[in-house]
Amino acid sequence: MRTSVKEQNTWSVLDLIEWSTRYLTDKGFDDARLNVELLLCHVLNCQRIDLYLRYDMILKSAELSSYKTLFQRRLTHEPLQYILGKTEFMGLTLIVNPEVLIPRPETEVLVERVLEMSKKYPTEFIRFLDIGVGCGCIAISLAKYIDQSLVEAIDISKDALDVAAKNVNHYHLENRISLIQADVLKDLPTFQYSPFDVIVSNPPYISKNEFETLQPEVKDYEPGIASTDYING
């Protein structure tokens, strides 16, 4: 590219995608083009396919400025999901921020197993306890895909519960998901939906020593209390 993203004033969509992808790739980022496309979609409020339907469109100065700001954040290894303020999980769009762990594909496998197991109860209300609700990905998926479900979801973090509440409200599941601040290692509250048919959790699973070896997106940005004994250890 003939100049840098900071120096060049006029950028087409395709030019910006190609230059930014090369730059991130050279810096060792995985899925560089996908990162660039999603950042640009966020700025232009469009779908990925739209980028290539109008690949020769010149970005306005305000759009370019916004993109530069987001791109610089990604260069510091801030997770893409935090920059965008959302993530996809089980076909659902969920709000995320640095107060909550970003849901992993492996957690989708956990939810899929629970959904399959829950077919044993086709006509009854199924009562779930979700320990460590985070952004609400497990609780919301269960309530969304099992019509006869009731979910009690707890977390030690009030900030995480605030994020979960926004996601619960977005999907209008307030009547079937109860959010409670509690420490599972201490005295538990009186639950509204107990006794439970299923207890599900994706608890912290990374040791303190392992935590320091993780990629910067995790150890520098995601809440340690949600993934490791690092905070409490």
Q: What is the pLDDT of residues 37-78, one digit of tens each?
A: 999 999 999 999 999 999 999 999 999 999 999 999 999 999
**CA proximity to 151, closest of 117, 105, 191, 203:** 191
Residue 232: predicted pLDDT: 46
At 229, the pLDDT band (50, 70, 90 cuts) reads low
**23 pLDDT above the threshold of 70:** yes
- On average, the pLDDT of the chain sits at 91
**CA proximity to 139, closest of 126, 124, 129:** 129
Q: Where are the alpha helices (DSSP H) in 76-157?
A: 80-84, 105-117, 137-145
| Helix axis angle, 158-170 to 137-145, nearest 10° | 30
Q: Are 29 and 80 in contact (CB under 8 A)?
A: no
Residue with tokens 């977390």: 155
Domain 98-227 has CATH 3.40.50.150: yes
**Minimum mean pLDDT among 103-107, 181-185, 186-190: which range?**
186-190
Structure tokens at 28: 């060792």
Bigger pLDDT: 228 vs 108 = 108
How confident is the model over 157-183, as pLDDT tens digits? 999 999 999 999 999 999 999 999 999
User: CATH 1.10.8 occupies which residues in the chain?
Assistant: 13-75
Sequence letter at residue 51: L
In CATH terms, 13-75 corresponds, of 1.10.8, 1.25.40, 3.30.930, 3.30.70, to: 1.10.8
pTM: 0.88
User: CATH 3.40.50.150 occupies which residues in the chain?
Assistant: 98-227
What is the percent of the chain with per-residue pLDDT over 70, rounded to a whole number?
93
**16 pLDDT above the threshold of 80:** yes
